Each structure stands twice: as structure tokens, then as C-alpha cells.
């Protein structure tokens, strides 16, 4: 057993009330506070004691459904999504006292040496994971990937510049519509007529050789299509990618891109952090009317600290980066993701039509797996029964319907195995 005790300073100069918080926990436990007693005014100086009881968490090394805890909830949400349990345990152990500083990351100054070491290590580990060259800047920003729909054209082109968009889903479409406010975008291909179930061969498209950049969404969270190979734009056009839902799920050659952006809440952290990787020579050319919070140069010059950053979210991202490196890097992570996705897609394809995935097999996402039932009236029952078995957030996006299983990096193999087992049992009970 590990015991931690902290004494809080006097509440104010005129008060004699002090408090002592005693925390007792077991390694790899999730605390919750019980037995909280507050001193009365007549007992000033009497310590406030908080006793922690705990429940055990199971680490992400679990590899089979049989070994999974009966209390484990598998979260198949598209985001915020599951985080690695060993990362959560690490964050828990440092919640009250990070690295001997006596402070939580949530309360330390974002300009202090403690947080500077956190954000610098997070950037260093991300650079190692993706082999990011030194002539690319890494930014930890706020506002979500949707804010980058505006930031990209504002920083990379003038109002009259032509840019190309390949629209493979709802997020690509939203990015195009936002860009139309700040430049002259053209959709050179859209999969809307086919309900976003495929990706075109780029060489067959009527692209603009004078376009400033080509924008793609590397993985469409809602519709479940993913680029397996990235296009090479014509002429001097830059390749720009929204990688929000497959960021750090596999190796990527960053040098093929002028800019990559991604919300953290799928694979690398809690919601609130947006990561931008931008080639340094593209920084400093923002349109004159660009707000300061969207100007990449402002953030590069201030090392992502122009305003108060989402400190705890960045800290969590750093823990995830460290974990991914410990797994052997993104090549090993990709193998695990391929195995999980393969098991699920095989179950769908082998169900003799009871389950159906509408996405073309060559562009199926490793992250987001949409599927429907042969009998649509059973879908609500499927979701309800799955929830009773502690598999949640399986309902498809409202614009698509059906089901969707998001199986990001931190979804353990046990979660996918349990889902597949449930799918087979559900089919056996309803396929008649």
C-alpha cells in the first residue's frame, strides 16, 4: 500500500483552519473519495481527513475477452474515445504530485519550468514517433480540428488563391465549406452521391495544377473510409490532411505533407488539444485579417504558449506518445490495429449478409467500422443488448444510422473479441 499525505496552507491570513488530506491507494487502483468529514467552526485546526477506497483497473495488456474484467466497459465511441489504461494509471499516480513538484499538472503555471518540461517532452516524443523533420513545427493548440478548417486557408493562401478539395465524407465537406470564406476552393471529387463509401484514384481527377494546396481527410470518422495511399498533388501544390481520427495509428511520411492537423480525442489524448504539424517555410504568410489565435506564426514564435494551453490534455498526450514508443513505435501499433479491424470485418463479411459494411473493401478504415443489419428493425435491440453487456456507444452517426464501432489504438483486442462474440450470438438468436 502506498500512502500520500498533503497539508494545505492556511485558507486565508485571518483563518486558523488548515486541512490535511490523507490518500491511501493500492498500485493500479482507481480511487474514489469516501468518509469525508468537515471540521466545525468550534474545532478549527482539526484536520480534514479524506479516506480513499479503490477499485482495481486492468491494464491494456489484456489480450483476450476471457481475461477482461467483468466490470470493464468497452467504449466504442468515435470520440472522446478510450485511453490506454496504463496511461490513466500513470496520470492517476501523478494527479496530486507531478514528478515531486508538489503540484498537479492542472494547477501549475503553463510558463513554469515544470510544464515546460512536459510540453517539450511531448513534442520530442511525437517527433520520434512520426520522424518529423526539424524543418517542421509542431503546435499544441485549442479549438478542435474544425478551427483548422479556417486556419489552413488563412495561413497558406490569399483570398484569390485556388485550392482543391477531395471530399470523402462529412468532415471533408465541412472543411471545404469553411474554406470558401477565405479562398477560392474547388471540390475536384465528392463521394456524396455514393454515400461516401469509396475513395477515387487521384490520377483520374481533374485537378488544378495551379492550386495552392490539395486538402484531404485521411480518415472519415462518420463514414469509415480511409486513405491507404496519399496522393501527390500536381505542380507546386501542397498536400494538407485532416488526420484527426487516424493520427498516430500508423506510420506516416510527414515530408509528403505541407501541413497535418488532428484533434487529439481519438487516439492520443482527451478532447481539448489540437495538434498541427506545419512545414516551417509556410509559417508567417497569414492573410492580414487573420485573428491572432489562428495565426501559426504567433503560436510557433511562442512555442504553443501564446495563450494558456490545455495543459492537462497536453500532459496526457505526452503520456500516450511515451506509451506508443514503448510499444515499439507506430509500425507495431499499425499491426495491432490491422489485427483488430480484420477480426471485426471478417465477422461482418462472414455473417452471410446478416451484418453489412457499406464501405469498399480497399478503403475500409482501421479506426471506424460502420455496419448495418439485414433487418433494420433489430438495430435498436442490438445496441440495447450490447450496452447491457458493457459495450457502449455503438450507435451509428445520426446522418448514417446503423452501428459504428470505433476501435482506436487504445481499444484492446479483448474489446473487439467481445463485440464479435456478441455479434455472433445475436445473429444466432435473430437470424430466422
Catalytic residue among 164, 171, 336, 418: 171
Rounded Cα gap, residues 114 and 48, in angstroms: 29
DSSP string, 323-347: HHHHTT-HHHHHHHHHHHHHHHHHH
**Does residue 113 have an active-site annotation?**
no
- Using alpha carbons, select from 48, 9, 4 the residue that is nearest to residue 25: 4
253 phi/psi in degrees, rounded to 5: -85, 95
Catalytic residue among 125, 173, 242, 295: 242
Interacting residues of 206 by C-beta distance below 8 A, sequence separation 6+: 188
**Does residue 242 have an active-site annotation?**
yes
DSSP string, 85-117: HHHHHHHHHTSSSGGGSSS-TTTS-TTSHHHHH
Strands 219-220 and 2-8: unpaired
For 281, other C-beta atoms within 10 Å of its C-beta total 10
H or E element at residue 60: none
Evaluated on CA atoms 334, 340, 342, 348, the torsion sign reads negative
- Terminus-to-terminus CA distance in the chain, angstroms? 55
**Does residue 189 have an active-site annotation?**
no
Q: Cell 513538484 maps to which residue?
A: 101
For 418, other C-beta atoms within 10 Å of its C-beta total 21
H or E element at residue 253: none
Catalytic residue among 212, 250, 266, 395: 266
Catalytic residue annotation: 171, 242, 266
Amino acid at each position: 500500500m502506498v500512502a500520500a499525505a498533503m497539508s494545505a496552507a492556511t485558507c486565508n491570513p485571518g483563518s486558523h483552519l488548515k486541512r490535511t488530506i490523507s490518500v491511501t491507494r493500492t498500485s493500479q487502483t482507481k480511487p474514489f473519495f469516501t468518509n469525508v468529514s468537515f471540521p466545525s467552526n468550534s474545532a478549527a485546526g482539526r484536520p480534514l481527513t479524506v479516506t480513499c477506497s479503490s477499485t482495481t483497473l486492468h491494464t491494456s495488456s489484456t489480450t483476450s475477452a476471457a481475461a477482461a474484467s467483468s466490470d470493464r466497459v468497452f467504449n466504442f465511441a468515435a470520440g472522446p474515445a478510450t485511453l490506454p489504461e496504463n496511461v490513466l494509471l500513470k496520470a492517476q499516480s501523478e494527479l496530486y504530485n507531478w514528478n515531486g513538484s508538489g503540484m498537479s499538472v492542472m494547477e501549475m503555471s503553463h510558463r513554469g519550468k515544470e510544464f515546460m518540461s512536459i510540453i517539450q517532452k511531448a513534442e520530442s516524443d511525437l517527433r520520434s514517433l512520426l520522424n518529423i523533420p526539424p524543418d517542421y513545427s509542431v503546435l499544441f493548440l485549442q479549438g478542435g480540428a474544425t478551427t483548422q478548417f479556417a486556419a489552413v486557408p488563412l495561413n497558406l493562401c490569399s483570398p484569390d488563391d485556388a485550392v482543391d478539395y477531395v471530399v470523402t465524407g462529412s468532415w471533408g465537406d465541412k472543411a471545404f465549406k469553411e474554406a470558401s470564406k477565405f479562398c477560392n476552393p474547388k471540390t475536384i471529387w465528392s463521394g456524396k452521391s455514393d454515400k461516401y463509401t469509396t475513395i477515387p484514384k487521384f490520377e483520374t481527377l481533374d485537378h488544378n495544377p495551379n492550386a495552392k494546396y490539395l486538402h484531404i481527410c485521411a480518415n472519415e470518422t462518420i463514414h469509415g473510409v480511409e486513405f491507404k495511399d496519399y496522393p501527390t498533388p500536381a505542380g507546386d501544390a501542397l498536400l494538407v490532411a485532416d488526420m484527426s481520427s487516424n493520427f498516430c495509428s500508423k506510420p506516416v511520411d510527414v515530408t509528403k505533407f505541407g501541413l497535418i492537423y488532428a484533434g487529439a480525442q481519438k487516439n492520443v489524448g482527451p478532447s481539448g488539444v489540437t495538434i498541427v504539424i506545419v512545414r516551417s517555410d509556410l509559417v508567417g504568410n497569414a492573410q492580414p485579417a487573420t485573428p491572432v489565435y489562428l495565426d501559426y506564426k504567433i503560436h510557433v514564435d511562442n512555442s504553443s504558449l501564446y495563450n494558456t494551453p490545455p495543459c492537462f490534455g497536453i500532459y496526457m498526450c505526452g503520456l500516450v506518445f511515451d506509451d506508443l514508443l514503448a510499444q515499439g513505435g507506430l509500425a507495431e501499433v499499425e499491426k495491432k490495429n490491422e489485427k483488430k479491424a480484420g477480426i471485426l470485418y471478417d465477422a461482418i463479411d462472414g455473417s452471410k449478409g446478416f451484418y453489412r459494411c457499406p464501405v469498399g473493401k480497399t478503403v475500409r478504415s482501421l479506426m471506424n467500422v460502420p455496419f448495418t443489419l439485414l433487418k433494420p428493425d433489430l438495430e435498436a435491440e442490438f445496441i440495447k443488448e450490447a450496452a447491457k453487456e458493457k459495450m457502449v456507444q455503438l450507435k451509428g452517426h445520426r446522418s448514417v444510422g446503423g452501428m459504428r464501432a470505433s476501435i482506436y489504438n487504445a481499444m484492446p483486442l479483448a474489446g473487439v473479441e467481445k463485440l464479435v462474440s456478441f455479434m455472433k450470438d445475436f445473429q444466432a438468436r435473430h437470424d430466422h
